[in-house]
Amino acid sequence: MTVTDPRLILGPFVRYVSTDRATFWVETSQSCTVTVTTSTGVSVEEKTWGVHGHHYALVAVEGLPQNSTVDYTVSIDGGQVWPTDGHPSVVHTMCEDEPITVAFGSCRRGDTYSEEALTRIGADALVGLADRVAGEEPDDWPDLLVFLGDQVYADDPSPEIVERLHARREAGERAAGARSEDVEDEICDFEEYTWLYQESWGDDRVRRLMASVPTCMILDDHDLRDDWNSSADWRRDITQKPWWEDRVIGAFSSYWVYQHLGNLSPRELENDAMYAAVRSAASDSEREALLADFALKADSEPSSARWSYHRDIGNTRLIMIDSRCSRDLSPERRAMVDDVEWAWVREHTLNSGKEHVLLGSSLPFLMLPGLHAVEQWNEAVAQGAWGPRVARFGEKLRIALDLEHWAAFGKSFGDMVDLVDEVVVGPSAPKSVVWLSGDVHCSYVAKAQTRVSTSTSLYQLTMSPFRNPLNLPIRAVNRLAIRRPVAKMLARLARSAKAEPVHAEWSAEAGPWFDNGVMSLTTDSQALRLEVDHASVVNGRQTLRTTARYDLTPSGVRER
C-alpha cells in the first residue's frame, strides 16, 4: 500500500480580513497540519479536522500590519502547496474608517466553460472578475466579495454532476433516504454537496481570486431546494419526503463547513460552541453526529442556529440577514425573520456607529414596483381576504410563482421600514442605508424614500445572476413591472385585497439588466459610487465590460 502525501483540494480562501487579522480556509486530501506563513514573520499552524472522509482547517492569523499588502504561503505537513505558479499570493489588510469597495452578486450555476455551456448560460461573471483582479494592483481590488445566495444548486446540478450522481446511485452508494425518483438527479447528502463546491470554486481563476479577496456569504433556497421555506404548506409537504432528512443534514452541514465558518471573525470563532465541539471531537464519526444533530435542529428550530452575521469594514457595517432559514411561516403571522432574529438585526443596525450601513439579504427588500404589488396581493388573498377557496389557490400560487420576497411578508416589510425610520434620524444617522440582494436573476438600482425626511441615502441594489440568466418571457415580465401604468394597476389589485399600506416609495432608477454580472459599491464619504459590470466572452476569454457607473446621492442617481 502506497501512502501519498496530503494535498490541497480547495483553497486557500481568504475569508475574513480586518486591520490586523485574517482567516484562511482550506480543504485537504487527508489529515494533516496546515501552516500559513506571512511575509511579516507571522506563522500559524492548525490541525485539520475531518467529516465524511473530507478534511478542513480554518487558520486565523493575527498581528498583521494595517492597510498593507502581505504575501503569504500555505504549507501542509511542512511542504509548501500554495502558491503553485511561482507568483506570490497576497492579502490586503483594511484601514480603519476609510471608504471600502464591495463587489457582490448571486445565483451562480456550476457548469463547464465549454463552447456549448458558454452559449447556453453565458460567461461567468466571477471568472470575469478574477480576470480583472489578476491585472490590478492590490490597492485596486475589492475590499470584500459578497455572495448573496445560491452559491450552489442542489436541486439543479450541472450535467457533469448528474452523471456522477447516476454512477453513485447505480453503485448503491446514495443516501439511505434517497430512494425516490424525484431526487434521482439532485444532491442528497454531504458527499454530493462537496462535489458542488469543488465544481464551483475549483477553477484556477476563481481559486486565485478567492485566495486574495476576502469573501462573505449567505445561503438561499437552491443551496437546499427551490422554494425552501416559501410557506407552511411547502414545509408540511416536503418534510414528509423520505429523502428530506438526508438533504437537510447534507445541506446545513456542508454550508456550515464551506460557507458559514468563514463568515465569522476570529473572536466569534473563539466563542462559537459548535466550532469548539467539532474541533475537539474524538473522531470523525463524532463530528458527523454533532453536525447532523445541529443541522436537523437548525431546520426544525430556527432559533437554535444563527446564520446572520455582521462585519465592520472601514467606514461601513455590513449586516447579513438570513432571510431564508429563520422565517416564521405561520399563516396568521408570516415573517421573513422570526422575533429572535429580528431583535438581532435591529440591535446591529441601530448601533452600527458607521457612516454607511449595508443590509445584505439574498432576497431583495425592494422589488420592482409591479412585482411588489403582486406579492402583496398574493399574501392578502392567501390570508383569506377573498375567502377560503381563493386562499387555498393563493397559497398554491405563492409556491408556483415564487411569491416569497419581503413584499410577501407584509409584517416584516413594515418592520424594516420602521427600522430605517429609526436609523436615519438624529445626529448619528448614517450617510447611507443600502440593501444588497440577488435571487431574482435581474439587476437594478432603486432609490427609496420613507415617511421620514432625511439626508441619508436609501437604495436597493440587486445584482443577479453571476451565471444563470433568465429566459426571455420572464425578462419581459420584469420589464413590464417597472412601467408606471402597470405598477399602478397592480397596486390597485393589492388594495382591493386590503393589503396593508406601504409606508415607503421607490422606483427603479437604473436597470433592469439581465446578463450575468457583478456590481461594485464604493462607500465614499461624499457619495456612494456604483459600477455595474456584465460578463462576456472576448477572443476566448471571459471578461467583464462596464455597463454603467453611477453616483448614488440622497437626491437621486447621477450617471458618471
User: Of 383, 385, 388, 387, nearest to 398 (Cα)?
Assistant: 383
pLDDT in tens, 276-327: 999 999 999 999 999 999 999 999 999 999 999 999 999 999 999 999 999 9
From the CB of residue 113, how many other CB atoms can be counted at a distance below 10 Å? Answer: 15
Any residues with CB less than 8 A from the CB of 40 and at least 6 apart, and which?
Answer: 63, 64, 65, 68, 70
Q: Are 212 and 138 contacting, i.e. CB atoms less than 8 angstroms apart?
A: yes
% pLDDT > 90, the chain: 85
pTM of structure? 0.96
**Cα 486 from chain centroid?**
31
Q: How many CB atoms lie within 10 A of CB 235?
A: 17
Q: Where in 5-136 does DSSP place strands (E)? A: 8-17, 22-28, 33-38, 43-47, 49-51, 54-61, 69-76, 79-82, 89-92, 101-105
Whether the pLDDT of residue 481 is over 80: the answer is: no
What structural domains does the chain harbor?
1-96 (2.60.40.380), 97-559 (3.60.21.70)
137: which residues sit within 8 A by CB, 6+ positions away? Answer: none
Quick one: cell of 378? 398574493
Question: In the prediction, which pLDDT does 3 show?
Answer: 61
**Cis, bond preceding 12 (omega within 30 deg of 0):** yes
Q: What pLDDT sits at residue 96? A: 87
Q: How confident is the model at residue 357 (pLDDT cuts 50, 70, 90)?
A: very high
The DSSP symbol for 149 reads S
**Of 268-272, 462-466, 497-501, the least confident:** 497-501
